[in-house]
Chains A and B, each alone.
Chain A
Amino acid sequence: MGPKNVQQIILTLERFWDRQGCVLQQPYDVEVGAGTMAPETFLRVLGPEPYRVAYVMPSRRPTDGRYGDNPNRVQKHHQYQVILKPSPKNVQDLYLQSLSALGIDLREHDLRFEEDNWESPTLGAWGIGWQVLLDGLEITQFTYFQQAGGIDLEPISAEITYGLERIGTFIAQVDSIYDLQWSDTVTYRDIRHREEVEFSKYNFEAANVDMLFKLFSLYEEESKRSLNMDLVLPAYDYCLKCSHTFNLLDSRGAISVTERVGIIARVRQLACEVARRYLASREKQGFPLLESRKTSQPEPA
């Protein structure tokens, strides 16, 4: 029997990807819009070092808030993010095996890979891949990264991003994510609904626009200052803070047409510079993971 509630789904995926030699990381502690933005993806995919990692990433998208009223849309959802670098030949099969581990019988459900190429103008990143549909429901984004921070990638990483709420509603056969059981005794509604109500109100109505504009500039300055001191990882944190601040300003409707493109370009500039410096820094350290056998690929099951 497969998992029934959200935390069992997470545990099942953790066990599965543990067996595939992944580092099981913890969620990154800065607000991001997607698991891709966490350093464990955005930075690790750069350069020649092999790496396998998996982690849950709470992802904030302020404009998707619906005051807790919409059964499927929330300003914060949970992604389960897997990076396999380099992408193994059997990567699609691994992914399908993980669905089987979740108790989904693919001979009784309609699973398909439909063209969907991922792109993030803020990160100067793009990849080629699919959205994975299960009985018509998008449950995963599957991407072969081609570029990050404006840098061509070699080797190519495969990124698998599971939408945990989507998979949860599919398995539990419920119409609303609030009806999901998080654990056996506590529902998604119990622990998340109030958060959705308050943050929707804050994101759309209450956030202090002047302060956010100031913060954006301060974060941007701090990111640049850190870069100048070759403190690449702190610089990236502040780049992420810029991105989230921009998203908040956007949900407040505070960004005009003409400003929008410019602000995205400013964040991208930071991200690209961080990527360049990170790569240089890894090179200076002699690409420490290059010799490592820790992430060597196990034989496919």
Chain B
Amino acid sequence: MEKSELVVELGVEEIPASMIEDAARQLAEILVESLKTQRLPVGTVDRLYTPRRIIAAIRDIPVCQEDLVESIVGPPKSVAYDSAGNPTRAALAFAQKNGVTASQLKFVQTPKGEYLSIERKVRGMKTHKLLEALLPSAIAKIQFPKTMHWTADNFRFVRPLRWIVALFGGKCVRFKIADIASSKFTVGHRFLGKSRIAVSSYDSLKNALRENSVLVDPQERLVRINAELLREAEACGGRLLEDPELLKTVVNLNEMPSVIRGSFEQRFLSLPSEILITVMREHQKYFCVMNGKGELLPVFLAVVNLQSDAKGLIRVGHERVLRARLADAAFFWDTDRKTPLGDREPSLKSVLFQEKLGSYFDKTQRLLALLPKVTPILGKGDLLADLERAAHLCKCDLITEMVKEFTDLQGVVGGLYARAEGFPETVWRAVYEQYSPKSSTAASPTSDTGAILALLDRLDTVCGCFCVGLIPSGSGDPFAVRRQGNGILKIVFDHRLSVSLDSLIDWSLQTYGRGSDQTAGELREFFEGRLRFLFEEMGFSYDCVNAILAAGFDDPLDALERLRALQAMREAPDFLSLASNFKRIVNIVSQAAQDGGELQEALLQEPAERALWQGYLRILPEVQAARKSHDYGAALRALASVRVVVDEFFKEVMVMAEDAAIRRNRVALLTRISRLFISVADISRIVIERSA
């Protein structure tokens, strides 16, 4: 069968940088999927994109569907022919309905007996014809986080669609969508290319775009930008401050990226580097350059959408914009510091934290109420006074001009001002680090005070949100409560803080004047979900996670340590048979009406049950000691050491003995064993894969 290539280019007004890559992926996937449902196999698939276009190219698609032999089943043979072997009315009607004569009827053997059937050949359709309907519906299936409409029909897309190239085997596949007719004309770079260029294939499209100043391959743009960044950084005697996230953004903001280098006045280097970097990175999408000592150089690297800045006009423009921004920042830095940070605390009464949860002043008060309870149990009682000073200061930067302008710098700015005012590092760093970690992969606070303040700030937000019903569900989590929950646990892990979640929840709910058991229960469930998420993100297998969470998670750090030990043990020989026997124990114990009560040694008759009892007595102190020292590897090894006697027990002993007292006694024995295990992990949750 002859095969051809499909190429589709969607020309769109500038697509938001964060949405382009996914849109290109979807277009290719949806096309491949749609072709497959039309019985059209595909060869290699390519996808390319720039801010103004997404392209999918699919090679080796048959130009025609395969013919299909279709069989239509009619009435049973017994109904279709009379005793004389002549077709009945049922048979004739079936033949007529399908446009054949009675002589063309055939039989087919089915499990229910012999039936009449007709075989019909369905001719495969021309792929080109199929694509006329398939392409517009595929394009309409692309999903975006936010869409708009712009034409009279109700078609929605991320931004207005302005041209469509659709070629199959070099010929245009004609269709219309959102008032745009497909064609074989593409569009070059906005300012450096032609606006109407005929193309005939994927290769000719790529060539035409290159000739018209569009680098359509994101990888090529990335390589080009990166090389120019490194070259420019070196040219001014520094080294590039790597920024993969920004790099990805600028790859998706330009069709023909080039790097230009500009400079700013030396005097702005007196501003803290955090502020300089934010101005350049967040506001202007500039890359920064450091010297050998890790200090910023007074230069910036900007990525522009042109071949070059031959006359230097663009550099001058960017320098002027940056100068104004830095002058603002310098002005804020000087003005804000005229008022001591702490003097701003009363003004926090007019800054809303959350509509139903009051102001940031209220939040500060709650943090101050939590500190004396939580700090000592973390074993950091000596930090309490510093933490209280930090709590008073921590939200004050919200009403500084600097944070109003650079909201991403909240916390950091407060910390910088506190440092400039001469507060000790334990205090200013707590303020500085209170919003760390910003994601589950970002760094936790480095200081103890920062960790505790960051933990309590999030705890207060999470518990407060649950109090007023802002509970995350499905994709709805407007206050990013899940991320806050992850933050709490990450801090606990990174700083090895041993703490009771139940106590934290209770104390926090008290500061809201509420203590509903239901809310506490919901919060516990929430943290279980967060732990499950984080543990699986760390790479632990889900059944080990289940085993650990079922055994309790009030102290998340303890749960993590148990999980590590269990995951290591999971690979050990014989562990699965231990798990399988433990599952039997759990089943027996849970099915027994009562737990068997006190164990009476005298009633232990069989050698195997006595051996199990002896084994239990032997490992009990070992497990308890190991638990106390958090050596869960040792605890699990001790537990695992009874595997042989457990095996023997099940082989030799009938738990459901006829004598009720003996039966009860055996259940009591197994109950003790099961409790000892569950104090570490409920290994009945381990999934035992059976080979088929």
Which residue numbers of A lie inside 8 Å of B, CB to CB? 70-73, 86-87, 89, 92, 96, 106-115, 117, 127-128, 130, 134-137, 144, 146, 154-156, 169-170, 173, 175, 253, 256-258, 260-261
Is there contact, CB below 8 Å, between A107 and B160?
no
C-alpha gap A90/B355 in the complex (Å) = 44
C-alpha gap A86/B153 in the complex (Å) = 12
Chain B residues positioned under 8 Å from A144 (CB to CB): 148, 150, 160
Q: Is B498 on the interface with A (CB-CB < 8 A)?
A: no
Is there contact, CB below 8 Å, between B14 and A113?
yes
Is there contact, CB below 8 Å, between B331 and A107?
no
Within 8 A of A (CB), among B301-323: 302, 304-306, 309-311, 313-314, 316-318, 320-323
**A92-B13, A111-B190, A261-B352 known, 8 other contacts, Cβ within 8 Å:** A107-B191, A109-B313, A110-B317, A113-B14, A135-B313, A146-B149, A156-B148, A169-B320
Partner among B17, B190, B305, B351 whose Cβ is within 8 Å of the Cβ of A115: B17
C-alpha gap A253/B16 in the complex (Å) = 36
Is there contact, CB below 8 Å, between B331 and A110?
no
Q: Is B200 on the interface with A (CB-CB < 8 A)?
A: no
Q: Is B284 on the interface with A (CB-CB < 8 A)?
A: yes
Chain B residues positioned under 8 Å from A72 (CB to CB): 324, 328
Is there contact, CB below 8 Å, between B149 and A135?
no
Within 8 A of A (CB), among B283-339: 284, 302, 304-306, 309-311, 313-314, 316-318, 320-324, 327-328, 331
Chain B residues positioned under 8 Å from A87 (CB to CB): 150, 160
Q: Is B359 on the interface with A (CB-CB < 8 A)?
A: yes
Partner among B152, B328, B359 whose Cβ is within 8 Å of the Cβ of A257: B359
Chain B residues positioned under 8 Å from A261 (CB to CB): 352, 355
Q: State how many angstroms separate the Cβ of A47 from the closest Cβ of chain B.
A: 14
Is there contact, CB below 8 Å, between A130 and B314?
no
Q: Nearest CB to that of B331 among chain A residues?
A: A70
Chain B residues positioned under 8 Å from A253 (CB to CB): 350
Q: A92-B13, A144-B150 are in contact. Are A136 and B253 (CB under 8 A)?
A: no
Q: Is B162 on the interface with A (CB-CB < 8 A)?
A: yes
Is there contact, CB below 8 Å, between B320 and A112?
no
Partner among A106, A108, A115 whose Cβ is within 8 Å of the Cβ of B16: A115
Q: State how many angstroms separate the Cβ of A134 from the closest Cβ of chain B.
A: 7
Is there contact, CB below 8 Å, between B314 and A135?
yes
C-alpha gap A256/B355 in the complex (Å) = 12
C-alpha gap A130/B13 in the complex (Å) = 10
A selection of 9 A-B contacts at a CB cut-off of 8 Å is: A96-B190, A110-B306, A110-B314, A112-B14, A117-B146, A136-B318, A137-B317, A154-B152, A260-B352
Is there contact, CB below 8 Å, between B313 and A108?
yes
A112, A115, A117, A137 — which one has the most chain B CB atoms within 10 A of its CB? A115
Is there contact, CB below 8 Å, between A173 and B316?
yes
Is there contact, CB below 8 Å, between B14 and A130?
yes
C-alpha gap A169/B13 in the complex (Å) = 27
Chain A residues positioned under 8 Å from B302 (CB to CB): 110, 136
Is there contact, CB below 8 Å, between B350 and A110?
no
Q: State how many angstroms separate the Cβ of A299 from the closest Cβ of chain B.
A: 15
Partner among B150, B152, B327 whose Cβ is within 8 Å of the Cβ of A71: B327
Is there contact, CB below 8 Å, between A134 and B317?
yes
Partner among A110, A130, A156, A173 whose Cβ is within 8 Å of the Cβ of B304: A110
Partner among B13, B150, B321 whose Cβ is within 8 Å of the Cβ of A136: B321
Q: Is B532 on the interface with A (CB-CB < 8 A)?
A: no
Chain A residues positioned under 8 Å from B148 (CB to CB): 127-128, 144, 146, 156
Q: State how many angstroms separate the Cβ of A260 from the closest Cβ of chain B.
A: 7
The number of A-B residue pairs with CB atoms under 8 Å apart is 107
Chain B residues positioned under 8 Å from A134 (CB to CB): 317
Within 8 A of A (CB), among B333-357: 349-352, 355
Is there contact, CB below 8 Å, between A257 and B350?
yes
Chain B residues positioned under 8 Å from A260 (CB to CB): 352
Partner among A71, A108, A256 whose Cβ is within 8 Å of the Cβ of B324: A71
C-alpha gap A154/B328 in the complex (Å) = 42
Is there contact, CB below 8 Å, between A109 and B150?
no
Q: A136-B284, A173-B316 are in contact. Are A89 and B306 (CB under 8 A)?
A: no
Give B144-182 as 1s and 0s: 1 = Cβ < 8 Å from A's Cβ atoms.
Answer: 001011111000000110100000000000000001000
Is there contact, CB below 8 Å, between B13 and A113?
yes
Q: A86-B152, A92-B13, A156-B149 are in contact. Are A137 and B321 (CB under 8 A)?
A: yes
Q: Is B192 on the interface with A (CB-CB < 8 A)?
A: yes
Which residue numbers of B lie inside 8 Å of A, CB to CB? 13-14, 16-18, 51, 146, 148-152, 159-160, 162, 179, 190-192, 253-254, 284, 302, 304-306, 309-311, 313-314, 316-318, 320-324, 327-328, 331, 349-352, 355, 359
Partner among B51, B146, B253 whose Cβ is within 8 Å of the Cβ of A128: B146
Q: State how many angstroms separate the Cβ of A2 from the closest Cβ of chain B.
A: 14
C-alpha gap A223/B179 in the complex (Å) = 42
Top 5 nearest A-B pairs (CB, nearest first) are A135-B317, A115-B16, A257-B352, A128-B148, A110-B304
Q: Nearest CB to that of B13 among chain A residues?
A: A92
C-alpha gap A137/B285 in the complex (Å) = 12
Q: Nearest CB to that of B147 among chain A residues?
A: A128
Chain B residues positioned under 8 Å from A127 (CB to CB): 148
C-alpha gap A256/B313 in the complex (Å) = 46
Is there contact, CB below 8 Å, between A70 and B328?
yes
Q: Nearest CB to that of A132 among chain B residues?
A: B14
Chain B residues positioned under 8 Å from A111 (CB to CB): 190-191, 305
Q: A107-B306, A112-B253, A257-B351 are in contact. Are A136 and B162 (CB under 8 A)?
A: no
Partner among B152, B254, B355 whose Cβ is within 8 Å of the Cβ of A155: B152
Q: State how many angstroms separate the Cβ of A170 from the closest Cβ of chain B.
A: 7
Chain A residues positioned under 8 Å from B328 (CB to CB): 70, 72-73
Chain B residues positioned under 8 Å from A106 (CB to CB): 190-191
C-alpha gap A260/B350 in the complex (Å) = 10
C-alpha gap A106/B313 in the complex (Å) = 11
Chain A residues positioned under 8 Å from B160 (CB to CB): 87, 89, 144
Q: A107-B192, A115-B17, A135-B321 are in contact. Are A128 and B159 (CB under 8 A)?
A: yes
Q: State how many angstroms separate the Cβ of A37 from the closest Cβ of chain B.
A: 22
C-alpha gap A175/B190 in the complex (Å) = 29
Q: Nearest CB to that of B351 among chain A residues?
A: A257
Q: Nearest CB to that of B360 among chain A residues?
A: A257
C-alpha gap A112/B306 in the complex (Å) = 11
Chain A residues positioned under 8 Å from B310 (CB to CB): 108
Is there contact, CB below 8 Å, between A175 and B323?
yes
Partner among B150, B191, B309 whose Cβ is within 8 Å of the Cβ of A156: B150
Q: State how many angstroms separate the Cβ of B163 from the closest Cβ of chain A.
A: 10
C-alpha gap A89/B180 in the complex (Å) = 10
Q: Nearest CB to that of A113 among chain B residues?
A: B14
Chain A residues positioned under 8 Å from B323 (CB to CB): 175
C-alpha gap A89/B453 in the complex (Å) = 54
Q: State how many angstroms separate the Cβ of B212 from the closest Cβ of chain A.
A: 13
C-alpha gap A92/B12 in the complex (Å) = 11
Q: State how many angstroms separate the Cβ of A193 from the closest Cβ of chain B.
A: 18
Q: State how many angstroms separate the Cβ of A73 from the closest Cβ of chain B.
A: 8
Is there contact, CB below 8 Å, between B320 and A175?
yes
Chain B residues positioned under 8 Å from A117 (CB to CB): 146
Chain B residues positioned under 8 Å from A175 (CB to CB): 320, 323-324
Q: State how many angstroms separate the Cβ of A114 from the closest Cβ of chain B.
A: 7
C-alpha gap A65/B284 in the complex (Å) = 23
Chain B residues positioned under 8 Å from A258 (CB to CB): 352, 355
Chain A residues positioned under 8 Å from B322 (CB to CB): 136
Is there contact, CB below 8 Å, between B327 and A256?
no
Q: Nearest CB to that of A170 among chain B residues?
A: B317
Is there contact, CB below 8 Å, between B253 and A114?
yes
Chain A residues positioned under 8 Å from B16 (CB to CB): 115
C-alpha gap A70/B179 in the complex (Å) = 48
Chain A residues positioned under 8 Å from B179 (CB to CB): 89
Q: State how many angstroms separate the Cβ of B301 from the closest Cβ of chain A.
A: 12
Chain B residues positioned under 8 Å from A170 (CB to CB): 317
C-alpha gap A256/B352 in the complex (Å) = 9
Q: State how many angstroms separate the Cβ of B303 from the closest Cβ of chain A.
A: 9
